[in-house]
A and B are shown apart, each in its own frame.
Chain A
């Protein structure tokens, strides 16, 4: 998997193919415009209704639904313009053989619409989904568009990797860990040496710090990761590669609330908005270790850890219970019912009320030993 002449050439070929896709899409718009027809872009829909649950593979997939994005419609006119701008920006990036962050792309395309006081893009939140639209419209992966997201999430553990030719020993990453890049494809990152037997993925950096400080990965011979909340694509892709290529089980420690359940669901089956990427992101085998609704009693936690469920939490919990991949799952139905019956939620940090290292030294090892998890 080393970078060689063939690699470079294939990269060039790949770029040429992407460029052609962009030119085709825009040329079609030009043709329609000059021919007096309404310019439209077909964009596969990234909505729940266009998401299919592939029971056999255990992942979410994108359906065939396509939405037209016409220029002459007040609802879509601006998005149409933005899509064209980003198409042009991406083509330039590829031509210059440069990559850019999502933020960089946003700034490159952001300007005042000629003759007005209106911006082409006001915030990056407007820009990022347009790029995702382009990905699906072109059928191109994000790295093929030369775009990456900011690094998010960290990793430590018994593994050595090569990142763009640099060897990285994840056992010697100090307190911060190896920052997970957004593009972790095999042409960028290769696994060199791995002794770890599983991956412990936690929700947030604070919890990850606890485990790292207690050298949990060393004691339990594993890899420790977090995704700073909902894990970004880079983090999910790396977890999937560790799972598929190195056959490491992925064990998740997330909050006991609908949000934690949702993160687990995204890691396991994929998300609605990125359903087109599920096959390279979803990890159907991922396991949910905790924390669990029963833990309040089982671990003898203090009343102070309870956080009352909001109306919205209850609504979210019921929605999640109805997801097809949870709907037929006895264990998960019970778990969500228990959460609702409790009427409160708990963060992983609540285990700290027992003892500062209770989570890393008692709770997780015990549950691992008992194989007490949901999957």
Chain B
């Protein structure tokens, strides 16, 4: 600003502008704000802050819904995610492009009359009012995505849904009116085919996969839903990408099969993000997926659905006074003259007749007192009684934790490491809502050794990709003393090392910090459980690392001895004339006996000796992934000309001076395959008992 302007600003205003508003004039402007209008203006609250995130959030909302619907209907999810680039010929400088995002599931479908509500109204859903674990909870997700598409492209959503096998499919196109928060249907027809056939012929990749029966096979979709949204967006790989989301979803949902058809073109980034690119390649390598002509398949890891969850009543300890008052009112409305005694038992969980009676007594009313007659001061007393009473924690069959076995299966599938451990805590309560924390860690193998650990977070099996540092789980990780488990950790930061940390919170209501469901709010109860789960995993890792260190030391020790035995037996032969080979073998035998610890786990070629590679619950060790001791040199047999013994086990072949790394990869993957198969088999055996550990 110029000096003149500055002076002008500093001077007090002399001239009075138009008269200020009064109550009347203001009243003229006071009116309803439609929720849709509100969110249209505040799209960042829903995760549509920028074009790249818009693509991800849309995919995420649709996939979440598909998984929820499948599980609720007891169907093993078969999901296709298709990204079509509608402006493939845009100039390289274009910051965004138009995409059509389609998610197709084999879920139960949606009955015709609900379609407008579900896709055309914000805050309409089946999950908000109940205490049951599901991915979606707010009734915003898919309609918000549709709204974003509409705002940016003007194009309606396209829905195909088939609620009954053998019956026609509804093909509906609708747009949301943001003023009225209602859908306007622009197309409504019944068609025969489901899933829409055109997707199968999209590319060579989809055709090939469809021919093998691996893509949108009609018989696999007796019912289901397909949602397409056109939007202005940007597709890129790396952190926070659709690829990462699906990769992590596959880890937390080993029972789902997901096929991803990425767009033909990736948006150029003006300032190439080297880190993101590196992470993308690492992520691509880390996922055990198959890729045919660009189509990525995340295979199904286990054949069992998560156990069905039950809806529960609120727990007395999780209720606020205002809600208690409202519940009393609602009860009176519904039950006209119902007693407090019954109210307590019917509208809360864990309240037995005795407890109800003693609660009535505690606030000085009889068991026959009517709920409608309870005055606010008595309600307040009741509220206090709730807090002080000793009640069983809420039932936990409303939760479907992933379970130790499936956590391990998921991690093994998604992360190439040498050590895996998992822990599933028992259910706990925050604000009267049951929740359960699970953690898993993967260590070593191909993970980068000198970077901060990667934390992957899940809430009700949904990966959380943003706002890591605002998340309770992040705090729990940094507050855990990883140094106790032989890991490095800068003060107040993530541990450093080849480590992936997974945290899952399962709850009937996950307390997110915002509607975009990106970070878990930091409740003490939750953070405490997270830390306990991490400590359990960490302890197992610590034990393993110490054991491995010992093993390594013993291995090195034996190496040292074996290295010298050749020289010694040669010298003995030269001085005394003793048979060199005999002396060598005798000394080798002694060396091995003396370093038996190393032998317990690995034989001399590094193969698994024991059948069971793990000796603790919730732990998997992939011995082949263990990095060789740096600089280790294989021991040698005595010089060849002096030891003609045939058939003797020779550790060193022609390339004897090569470090042991050679010929590893093939063996490693074979062992890994075998392990994976075992895990999968084991997991399917343990049906209905997903939380139990100790299978291995």
Contact = CB atoms under 8 A, between A and B. Distances in A.
A341 interface: no
B638 interface: yes
A84 B568 CA distance: 6
A282 B598 CA distance: 51
B199 interface: no
B575 A115 contact: no
A80 B568 contact: yes
A170 to B, nearest CB: 42
B73 interface: no
Interface string A67-85: 0000110100110110011
Interface in A12-53: 22-23, 26-27, 29-30, 33-34, 36, 38-39
A62 interface: no
Interface in A173-209: none
Main secondary structure of the interface of A (DSSP, over half): helix
A115 B572 contact: no
Given A71-B561, A117-B657, A84 B567 contact: yes
A303 interface: no
A78 B564 contact: yes
Given A34-B582, A36-B586, A113-B636, A81 B567 contact: yes
Given A23-B576, A27-B576, A88-B574, A115 B633 contact: yes
Contacts of B639: 114
A86 to B, nearest CB: 9
Contacts of A34: 578, 582-583, 586
B587 interface: yes
Given A77-B564, A115-B652, A72 B583 contact: no
B575 A116 contact: no
A91 interface: yes
Interface string A98-127: 000000000000000111111010000000
B560 interface: yes
Contacts of A36: 586, 589-590
Contacts of B637: 114-115
Contact of A116 (B557, B561, B569, B636): B636
Contact of B568 (A22, A81, A116): A81
A87 interface: yes
A71 to B, nearest CB: 7
A276 to B, nearest CB: 23
B572 A30 contact: yes
B213 interface: no
A33 B590 CA distance: 8
A174 B589 CA distance: 63
A30 B590 contact: no
Interface centre among B576, B594, B652, B657 (most CB of A within 10 A): B576
B587 A22 contact: no
Nearest to B650: A115
B238 interface: no
Interface string B429-440: 000000000000
Contacts of A118: 563, 633
Contacts of B636: 113-116
A30 B577 CA distance: 10
Contacts of A39: 568, 587
A17 B568 CA distance: 23
Contacts of A91: 574-575
Contact of A87 (B564, B575, B582): B575
Contacts of A77: 560-561, 564
A85 B586 contact: no
Nearest to A27: B576
B561 A72 contact: yes
Contacts of B563: 113, 115-116, 118
B634 A26 contact: no
A81 B582 contact: no
A271 B589 CA distance: 42
Which of A38, A72, A78, A91: most chain B CB closer than 10 A?
Answer: A72
Nearest to A120: B567
Interface in B527-563: 557, 560-561, 563
Nearest to B642: A114
A280 B435 CA distance: 86
B566 A113 contact: yes
A71 B638 CA distance: 17
A115 B568 contact: no
Interface string B611-646: 000000000000000000000011111110000000
Given A77-B560, A85-B571, A91-B575, A114 B583 contact: no
Contact of A115 (B560, B578, B591, B657): B657
A81 B638 CA distance: 14
Interface string B583-597: 100110111001000
B665 interface: no
Contacts of B564: 71, 77-78, 80-81, 113
B688 interface: no
A114 B576 contact: no
A116 B591 contact: no
A23 B561 CA distance: 23
Nearest to B578: A30
B376 interface: no
A177 to B, nearest CB: 41
A34 to B, nearest CB: 5
A71 B587 contact: yes
Given A113-B566, A114-B566, A33 B583 contact: yes
B445 to A, nearest CB: 27
Contacts of A92: 574
A171 B513 CA distance: 102
A116 B572 contact: no
A26 B571 contact: yes
Given A23-B576, A26-B571, A116 B582 contact: no
A71 B557 CA distance: 11
A117 B635 CA distance: 11
B322 interface: no
Given A27-B576, A30-B576, A115 B567 contact: no
Contacts of A81: 564, 567-568, 571
Max count, chain A CB within 10 A of own CB: residue among B574, B583, B589, B639: B574
B587 A115 contact: no
B656 interface: yes
Contacts of B576: 23, 26-27, 30
A19 to B, nearest CB: 9
A38 B594 CA distance: 10
Contacts of B567: 81, 84-85, 113-114, 120
B615 to A, nearest CB: 27
A336 B583 CA distance: 56
Interface hub of B569, B572, B657 (most chain A Cβ within 10 A) = B572
Contacts of A23: 575-576
A88 B557 contact: no
A70 to B, nearest CB: 10
A34 B590 CA distance: 10
B587 A33 contact: yes
Contact of B571 (A88, A113, A116): A88
Given A36-B590, A71-B561, A87 B571 contact: yes
Interface string A145-159: 000000000000000
Contacts of B656: 115
A71 B566 contact: no
Contact of B572 (A33, A72, A117): A33
A29 B557 CA distance: 20
A317 B560 CA distance: 41
6 contacts: A33-B569, A33-B572, A71-B568, A74-B557, A77-B564, A115-B636
Interface of A: 22-23, 26-27, 29-30, 33-34, 36, 38-39, 71-72, 74, 77-78, 80-81, 84-85, 87-88, 91-92, 113-118, 120
- A-B residue pairs, 8 tightest by C-beta: A115-B636, A81-B564, A84-B571, A26-B575, A88-B571, A114-B636, A116-B633, A88-B574
Given A80-B564, A115-B636, 8 more contacts: A27-B576, A30-B583, A33-B572, A33-B583, A78-B560, A85-B567, A113-B636, A116-B633
